[in-house]
Structure 1
Amino acid sequence: MTKMLATSEQQAIAKAFLAARAAKTPLTDYPGAMPQGLAEAYAIQDSAIAFDGRPIGGWKVGRIADELVARFGGHRIAGPIFTNEIVDAADGAVPAMPVYGGGFAAAEAEVLLRFGDVGTREYDIASVRDAIDEVRTGIEIASSPFPDINKHGPAVTASDYGNNKGLVIGPRIAGWQDADLIAMPVEFRIDGERIGAATMETMLDGPFGSALFLIRALRARGIAIPPGTWVSAGAITGVHEIRPGQDAEALFDGKIRVSCKITG
């Protein structure tokens, strides 16, 4: 993918999303011409990141639907997760995670990978493990002031931070270097009711494939990956829409729990 500089119209879209996020007001319509490809989407996203100014502590990776892969030229998209919206709940805490009540809101069970020193070497699906220094359980909070963000394809989703609003970092996965993460059972509950269950076999080439994609995608965009950067590797049990006031819980391997309370 060739890096594209934002046009004045794309900068205006980025500013409109930033203003809506800051004011916590919904956007009933997309604020401009919808991007038709990922280069346009990332031009908007890069512009928003620059205007926003907050430090980035991680990146979410989302999947492109199989029927859209040929059109968009890939299987995944990425969006920034800002440091001030990353909460460590490894000690069993249940943090309050805000969403846009009048927009789109969802929570997703995800495996989280933390980069060590990525350096400049080239990686493949086997060697990318060398770039990872920790693996955790977690919940990604997906939310945007534009309620229809996921209804217009991956470019629109990518344009507004990939539809990210935060990350809950849960307990570590011990022995991840030798564990069969792909086969690990994962469940997701909202208000105590199980609404999703799956393994990472549904995730293309798994969480390490997401890390490999992200390294290549960020390099193409000229974005550095400092040590300590988190990768939220993709929804395992699905994208579960959620409302303020509800509780979310992910259960990994039948024993590792991570939870949060959704607020408006």
Structure 2
Amino acid sequence: MAETLEIDKIAGALIDARALKTPLTLYPGPMPQTMAEAYAIQDAAIALDGRRIGGWKVGRIPDALVERFGENRLTGPIFDDEIFDGSAGSAPSMPVYSPGFAAAEAEVLLCFGEVGARDYDIDSVKDCIAQVRTGIEIASSPFPEINLHGPAVTASDYGNNKGLILGPAIPGWRDAELIRMPVEMFVDGQCVGAATMEAMLDGPFGSALFLIRTLRARGIAIPPGTWVSAGAITGIHEVKAGQTAHAVFNHDIRVNCSIRSI
């Protein structure tokens, strides 16, 4: 599946489905079997798309698939025009593909400062983080089965991302035990998940390390101001047009949004 022509064909079909709001009943070509194939499709789609990337989502690869795919996380671009500020209590209206797949995820968001070329570890990576905020990632794809065929398929279609809401900043994040912060997610006012980041591998800063390594290997720059949506904390919660979603961090920091059909 490594043929350039096949990669470009799949990338073009995924881009067209998003642009034309056309549901995909089938994956548009041979499904990628490795993360290298997935990122080749993703890179081709980014080049065809042409929009500015404002951030990257990071998602977890299930434990049972880590050995096969050689990674425990995956990533996909978040375009600048799909990043919305919800820090002042507003509830951005977030578009999703309907029919298609759509979900809302409570996440901690890291904003890179100057990354440079230095090597980092889990502690020193904080040196290149300018701020940490609460947020919600909107996952959506015209392919309803995007999460049913493994992480390479998910990664190939922008990592199943369709937007990001920037919530309020987390004060004193450098000294806070972020990994133990309680987080709750609500859809239409009903709690659909509650957790801490203790189950998120090595936490949000581990996601930042993964992203730096992965983007460097792909030859992708990380300019200051790039956001990292560090991974679903309470789970992947499916939503549909007409619903509302909100996340509560540390009992009193709230991020809101509404869901609409594209």
TM-score, structure 2 normalization: 0.99
Could you report, residue by residue, the CA deviation over 1:148-170 in whole angstroms, capped at 9, with x for unpaired residues?
A: 00000000000000000000000
Name the aligned partner's letter for residue 186 of structure 1. V
Q: Aligned partners of 1:33, 1:7: CA distance in 2, in Å?
A: 13
Could you report, residue by residue, the CA deviation over 1:113-150 in whole angstroms, capped at 9, with x for unpaired residues?
A: 00000000001111000010100000000000000000
Q: Does 1:10 align with 2:17?
A: no
Q: Aligned partners of 2:3, 2:15: CA distance in 1, in Å?
A: 15
Q: Does 1:173 align with 2:200?
A: no
Select the residue among 113, 116, 122 that pairs with 1:116. Answer: 113
Root-mean-square deviation (CA, aligned residues, Å) is 1.0
Could you report, residue by residue, the CA deviation over 1:42-94 in whole angstroms, capped at 9, with x for unpaired residues?
A: 00000000000000000000000000000000100000000000001111110
Q: Aligned partners of 1:244, 1:233: CA distance in 2, in Å?
A: 25
Question: Which residue pairs with 1:43 in the alignment?
Answer: 40
Q: Is the contact between residue 20 and residue 26 of structure 1 (CA under 8 Å) also seen in structure 2?
A: yes
Question: Which residue pairs with 2:96 in the alignment?
Answer: 99
**Structure 1 unaligned regions, length at least 5:** none
Q: Aligned partners of 1:5, 1:222: CA distance in 2, in Å?
A: 19
Could you report, residue by residue, the CA deviation over 1:11-38 in whole angstroms, capped at 9, with x for unpaired residues?
A: 1000001101011110000000000000
Q: Aligned partners of 1:184, 1:6: CA distance in 2, in Å?
A: 45
Name the aligned partner's letter for residue 164 of structure 2. L
Question: Which residue pairs with 1:58 in the alignment?
Answer: 55
Q: Is the contact between residue 125 and residue 212 of structure 1 (CA under 8 Å) also seen in structure 2?
A: yes
Question: Which residue pairs with 1:164 in the alignment?
Answer: 161
Indicate the SS of the match to 1:244.
coil
1:222-241 matched pairs, under 5 angstroms:
222-241=219-238
Q: Does 1:245 align with 2:242?
A: yes
Name the aligned partner's letter for residue 227 of structure 1. P
What is the CA-CA distance between 1:202 and the residue it aligns to? 1.0
